[in-house]
Structure 1
Amino acid sequence: MLSRFAPRASVRYNAPIRAAFRPATVVKSSRFVTTDAASSHAEKEDVPDADDAPFQVKLSPEAFETYELDPPAYTLDTTKGELKKMYYDMVAVRRMEMAADRLYKEKKIRGFCHLSTGQEAVAVGIEHGIEKTDHVITAYRCHGFAMMRGGTVRSIIGELLGRREGIAFGKGGSMHMFSTGFYGGNGIVGAQVPVGAGIGFANQYLGKQNVTLSLYGDGASNQGQVFEAFNMAKLWNLPVIFCCENNKYGMGTAANRSSAMPDYYKRGQFIPGLKINGMDVLAVKAATEFGKAWTAAGKGPLVYEFVTYRYGGHSMSDPGTTYRTREEIQRMRSTQDPIAGLKMKILEWEVASEEELKGIDRSAREFVDAEVKIAEAMAAPEATPEVLYEDIYVRGSEPAFLRGRVPEENHYYPEREVSVPKSPAQT
């Protein structure tokens, strides 16, 4: 398991990027990359007083491993305000997942439910490294991504409860959540990866400078469609980052038991790859910013591997202890938690005091708890025939002939107008 921590990190205000901290272009694989936040240190005078004043932090030399690629800079520009916001976001995502866990055990949530407790740094770090105009698509462990992409806690919990006010009107459930710039939440293993390549193609065709992050798990990494998407993306030089969230287990099967070559960041052949410490939100953000700049420069796709860990089972039906020990899980929680790691850095760098962080914890808990109560108070939907035919088509895209139906049987909830983007040829 993530058995070792990386060397200490420190803070430098506008410090130059130092090549000495860059590993070789191709590094002998080490399966687990982590950062020891407890060993970090900072020079107090280097951190500005104002929350919005930029300064630079130095990442661990072991934050990245590369394949056919020069690594990103081992420094990250940030602010005190952003560090506190990332901390708040991770606490809020975890609190929301804990609420989902409780509601499922109370039998208020039915069906599939896959939680991401322990993996918060990936969703939060990615969101802080991209723009709202960029695009994200992922698999079924999607609640944190839905929240970070702009979904409200009440709409996500409402969706889990099957309510009309849910983020997908109560029809998608745990695995199918969508919002602006977020294309799911997809239940078929690996199926979202070629869709992500297609979104990247659409951006390229429309002449946009947006990046698409197409995420999948280590359990999906051996799907044929993943490799097909790699090939097309490289062939057409698409602005896509293929991101493997390697949480060590595909359902109950360890990565090294399912993959002959478990260095997932090397799977793209002619596509450069990068392995990232997915338990370090700062490393995730830095890698995401690097990838966005890479694709915007027209250099084509990248393959990322975020090394992370899920504390719970594969789903709510899996206790998660039949294929790994309780001691392993507890060791991960106590030594490599992404929230605790960022907290240590914030305290060490004197970005915030212990009392201020307790206030952030309390604020996140109170906000999420209030949102969950609102979701629980939502009325159960009325089962009507019209519900079956809602939102089958985007308004205005209905075909002239509906097989077995008439146009009057199309319904939309809620009433809304949707604009379809035009291609360069149409403008």
Structure 2
Amino acid sequence: MNKLLAEEIYYLMELGRRFELAAKEHYMQGDISGFLHLDIGQEALSVAAMKAFEKGDVFSTYREHVMAIARGIDPKAVMAELFGKVTGVSRGKGGSMHLFDPSHFFYGGDAIVGGRIPNAVGCAYARRYQGIDDGVMVIFGDGATNGGAFFESLNIASAWRLPLLFLCENNRYAIGTEITRVAPFLEQAKKAAPFMPTVEVDGMDAVAVYEAVREAQQQIQRGHGPIFVEAFTCRYEGHSMSDAGSYRSPQEMQICRSKDPIERMKRELAERYGVDEAYIETLQKRAQNAVDEAVAFAAESPEPPLEELYADLFCKECANVVS
């Protein structure tokens, strides 16, 4: 990782956190409706994984705002989508959990836990069939590893040696259930070990995540088949805005916050690359300005017209497939 990339990752992490704090504020004010899953505390994984996997298809979790922005989607379009505006990335129809932009090869989240994993398997098969070797990455939480489709996907991807990177975001909690209450071990990579190579990484360390994902992508691009990367991270907020997170002790949260990924990346910039505090403050101000502009854009954008209710219900390109 060179200095310019390190600075970009830090900027996107700052942007991501400030974006999420603004989303939280406007949800509480009633400007955002429906579900809202915040990524505060997990910015290292969300940003570094996207920057490492720049070429290829990405299927994300529904905790996806920061991932979408790091993938290159305009923060204005993401915030407008949260506000339910027609200028949103999904024209105000998807909301927080369904940010979808094929122009960035970002196929977003799914309200079904682990619902994107079989889709990613199909995409990886299609890309191999097309001769495109960039690969596919699917991101999911630790809770998704208990689903039947997860194991079926591991099996098919391994049997067919598909170019697929399984990235498990292990924050230890599936909604409000600690993973070791419903699985016999904390390390969910153990479930994938019989099928493919596995890697464990500190998900609070952006540099470590970047290096692990970049190396994993190179492996699948070389035709070695799928790989499973597990990143251990920590979300500071509850599962969603309706979750107070009271099942986690103050001591646990104190430990989480002591590993803050943004502070770690800031130290990395100073110690490894000699970036001074003045420039770091410049990046912070730039990030805040981008968030302020996104909120203003979303607030001023129009609601979708009523006819949007009936648009895009069917695939126009598929009209002649079935007679």
Whether the TM-score (by the shorter chain) exceeds 0.5 is: yes
CA contact (8 A) 1:154 1:371 kept: yes
- Report whether the alignment pairs 1:142 with 2:64: yes
Deviation sequence 1:38-75 (CA, Å, 0-9, x none): xxxxxxxxxxxxxxxxxxxxxxxxxxxxxxxxxxxxxx
Q: How does 1:185-196 map to 2 (within 5 A)?
A: 185-196=109-120
Partner Cα distance (2:115, 2:290) in 1 = 34
Which of the pair has the greater relative contact order for Cα pairs under 8 Å at 6+ separation? 2
CA contact (8 A) 1:217 1:247 kept: yes
Q: Which amino acid aligns with 2:294?
A: E
Q: Which amino acid aligns with 1:140?
A: Y
Q: How does 1:262-341 map to 2 (within 5 A)?
A: 262-268=186-192, 269-320=194-245, 322-333=246-257, 335-341=258-264
Q: 1:331: how far off?
A: 3.2
Percent of aligned pairs with the same residue?
37
Matched position secondary structure for 2:167: strand
Q: 1:136: how far off?
A: 0.8
CA contact (8 A) 1:271 1:302 kept: yes
Cα distance change on mapping 1:381 and 1:342 into 2, 3 Å: same
Aligned counterpart, 2:172: 248
Decide which of 307, 310, 321 is 1:389's aligned counterpart.
310
Q: 1:80: how far off?
A: 1.2
Partner Cα distance (2:274, 2:135) in 1 = 31
Partner Cα distance (1:393, 1:216) in 2 = 28
Matched position secondary structure for 1:146: helix
Q: Which amino acid aligns with 1:142?
A: E
Deviation sequence 1:293-340 (CA, Å, 0-9, x none): 1011111001111100000000000111x211233223322x201110
CA contact (8 A) 2:31 2:83 kept: yes
Partner Cα distance (1:266, 1:224) in 2 = 16
- Report whether the alignment pairs 1:162 with 2:58: no
Decide which of 363, 367, 374 is 2:286's aligned counterpart.
363
Partner Cα distance (2:191, 2:113) in 1 = 17
Partner Cα distance (2:272, 2:158) in 1 = 41
Q: 1:394: how far off?
A: 4.1
Matched position secondary structure for 1:349: helix
Deviation sequence 1:268-299 (CA, Å, 0-9, x none): 21211111111111111101111111011111
After superposing the two structures, state which structure 1 stretch, 280-289 or 387-396, moved more: 387-396
Aligned counterpart, 1:9: none
Q: Please, what is the CA RMSD of the aligned residues?
A: 1.5
Q: Which amino acid aligns with 2:271?
A: E
Bigger fraction of residues in helix: 2
Aligned counterpart, 2:42: 119
Partner Cα distance (2:184, 2:255) in 1 = 27
Matched position secondary structure for 1:213: strand
Cα distance change on mapping 1:135 and 1:401 into 2, 3 Å: closer
User: Gaps (5+ residues) in structure 1?
Assistant: 1-77, 403-427
Q: 1:246: how far off?
A: 0.3
Q: 1:397: how far off?
A: 2.7
Q: How does 1:82-231 map to 2 (within 5 A)?
A: 82-131=5-54, 133-179=55-101, 180-231=104-155
Partner Cα distance (1:290, 1:331) in 2 = 29
Matched position secondary structure for 2:248: coil
Q: 1:130: how far off?
A: 2.0
Q: Which amino acid aligns with 2:12?
A: D
Q: Which amino acid aligns with 1:126?
A: A
Partner Cα distance (2:240, 2:226) in 1 = 31
Q: 1:345: how far off?
A: 1.6
Partner Cα distance (1:156, 1:270) in 2 = 36
Decide which of 293, 297, 317 is 1:374's aligned counterpart.
297
CA contact (8 A) 2:172 2:186 kept: no
Partner Cα distance (1:323, 1:118) in 2 = 17
Q: Which amino acid aligns with 1:389?
A: Y
- Report whether the alignment pairs 1:353 with 2:276: yes
Deviation sequence 1:200-258 (CA, Å, 0-9, x none): 11111101111111111011110000000000000100000111100111111111112
User: Gaps (5+ residues) in structure 2?
Assistant: none
Partner Cα distance (1:310, 1:194) in 2 = 25
Matched position secondary structure for 1:303: strand
Matched position secondary structure for 2:24: helix
Partner Cα distance (1:345, 1:221) in 2 = 32
Aligned counterpart, 1:43: none
Aligned counterpart, 2:267: 344
CA contact (8 A) 2:44 2:203 kept: yes
Aligned counterpart, 1:424: none
Matched position secondary structure for 2:317: coil
Partner Cα distance (2:303, 2:156) in 1 = 44
